[in-house]
Structure 1
């Protein structure tokens, strides 16, 4: 299975609001192959999520999965989910302080706040309605990927850039 090139910060596609996936797109063999290649790319790069614009496709779709990931050790597992035309509803005013990284900003981490409890809905890769409440790390991942579909990078959400750090320094000074 092929992997796709991950776009890096600075590429204007990462700052573009994506278009909805149409029924024509969804039903095509090409789109289904793209979904498989996007997931393969996420896994190959040790990502816990990836959004279509990160690989140059400006459509509203992302994938997420947490399974023994070396970039996020000790996180609870979360099964592979591909969400087409996702929507997120915040279910609580409670927030989490989180450290995020991004395949499009390699080698960098930063601290920000995300909603602790959300509802993620959309279509799965088979066209079935998907709706699930997420808390903790899966909620953070879903919000991060949803931001990509709206042209937002995690650094845009940081209120204090003092925690913007390279991964080696994150491991040495912040990851406790």
Structure 2
């Protein structure tokens, strides 16, 4: 297992459209394992392959929610290979989103509150499910990466510029 470097905006690869995974093989499973290690270390709850420099239609999610109030987070890793959204609800939900490629920046983003999605897991098994809540929001966010879209692209120009200015200031302070 290896920690992979996470690309940060404005890296041009983050704007590429990812290509389909042709075969779910040992190479893909090794990438998935490295992506989980990288995501947990960051820490984050979702990571698309393009964020680690591999423009393939692959992403991982683990919401790491506690089973009970105040309990330890429980890992429930999920792998989405060649995911597609089949249906979106017309009702929307606003959620405060952040992104490992736009570190330490958060903004309110409006997305459909229910989706029906289809994907393959790390064993090549097909799944189709209706997703809602944080999992549905997270999948939409990560799938945006596969299309070269960042969460800040959903913001008004003014809000996007404010987020990017804060990020630039943060980078200057760290240098």
Measured against the shorter chain, the TM-score band is 0.7 to 0.9
Q: How many residue pairs are counted as aligned between the two chains?
A: 160
* Superimposed CA distance per residue, residues 65-120 of structure 1 (whole angstroms, 9 cap, x where no aligned partner): 11148xxx99x978321010000133410000111000000011111101100012
Is the partner of 1:109 in helix, strand or coil? strand
Are 1:38 and 1:50, in contact at CA under 8 Å, matched by a contact in 2?
yes
Q: What is the RMSD computed on CA atoms of the aligned residues?
A: 2.4
Q: Which residue among 130, 155, 168 is the counterpart of 1:158?
A: 155
- Work out whether residues 120 and 142 of structure 1, in 8 Å CA contact, stay in contact via their aligned partners in 2: no
State yes or no: 1:67 paired with 2:64. Answer: yes
Q: Structure 1 residues 143 and 78 mapped into 2: Cα distance closer, same or farther (>3 Å)?
A: farther
Q: TM-score, normalised by structure 2?
A: 0.83
| Kept after mapping to 1: 8 A contact 2:35/2:47 | yes
Residue of structure 2 equivalent to 1:81:
78
Tell me how far 1:136 sits from its aligned partner: 1.3
Unaligned regions of 5+ residues in structure 2, if any? 168-175
Q: Residue 13 in 1 paired to residue 13 in 2?
A: yes
Paired residue for 1:37? 34
Alpha-carbon distance in structure 1 between the residues aligned to 2:140 and 2:35: 18
- Show the counterpart of 1:129: 126
CA deviation after TM superposition for structure 1 residue 161, in Å: 4.1
In structure 2, distance between residues paired with 1:153 and 1:78: 25
Matches within 5 A, 1:92-131: 92-131=89-128
2: CA distance between counterparts of 1:111 and 1:66? Answer: 18
